[in-house]
Chain A
Amino acid sequence: MLKRIISSIRGIGHHVIDSTWRLGYASRFFILVLLKSSTSLRRIGLVIRELYFTGVLSLIIILVSGLFVGMVLGLQGYETLQKFGSESAVGALVALSLVRELGPVVAALLFASRAGSAITAEIGLMKATEQLSAMGMMAVDPVARVVAPRFWAGVISMPFLAAMFSVMGVFGGYLVTVVFIGVDEGSFWSQMQNNVDFRIDIVNGVIKSCFFGVAVTAIAVFEGYDAPPTAEGVSGATTRTVVTSSLAILGLDFILTAFMFRGIS
Chain B
Amino acid sequence: MQRTTMDLWVGLFVMLGIGALLILSLKVGNLGTYGAGQSYDLVGNFENIGGLKVRAPVKSAGVVVGRVTDIQFSLETYDAVVTMRIGDHYKFPKDTFASILTAGLLGEQYIGLDAGGEEAMLKDGDKVMLTNSAIVLEEMVGRFLFDEAAKVDTDLE
Contact = CB atoms under 8 A, between A and B. Distances in A.
Given A95-B28, A197-B29, A198-B30, A167 B23 contact: yes
A99 interface: yes
B55 A157 contact: no
19 contacts: A48-B7, A51-B10, A55-B10, A56-B10, A59-B13, A95-B28, A99-B24, A99-B29, A160-B16, A160-B20, A161-B17, A163-B17, A163-B20, A163-B24, A167-B20, A193-B30, A194-B64, A196-B30, A206-B21
Contact of B20 (A51, A164, A196, A201): A164
Contacts of B18: 160
Contact of A99 (B10, B16, B28, B32): B28
What is the predominant secondary structure among interface residues of chain B facing chain A?
helix
Interface in B127-148: none
A265 B52 CA distance: 9
Given A160-B20, A196-B30, A197-B55, A202 B25 contact: yes
Contacts, number: 87
A217 B145 CA distance: 65
A196 B29 contact: yes
Interface of A: 45, 48-49, 51-52, 55-56, 59, 95, 99, 157, 159-161, 163-164, 166-167, 170, 189, 192-194, 196-198, 200-202, 206, 264-265
B61 interface: no
A166 B13 contact: no
Contact of B3 (A45, A95, A192, A206): A45
Given A52-B6, A193-B33, A198-B30, A157 B13 contact: yes
Interface of B: 1, 3, 6-7, 9-10, 12-14, 16-18, 20-21, 23-25, 27-34, 53-55, 57, 64
Nearest to B57: A194
Nearest to A170: B28
A197 B30 CA distance: 6
B28 A192 contact: yes
Contacts of B32: 193
A200 B29 CA distance: 10
A170 B30 CA distance: 15
With a 10 A CB-CB cut-off, give which of A167, A197, A202 has the most chain B CB atoms. A167
Given A160-B13, A164-B20, A192-B28, 19 more contacts: A48-B6, A51-B13, A52-B6, A52-B9, A56-B9, A56-B10, A59-B16, A160-B20, A161-B17, A164-B17, A170-B28, A193-B28, A193-B30, A194-B30, A196-B28, A196-B30, A201-B29, A206-B21, A264-B54
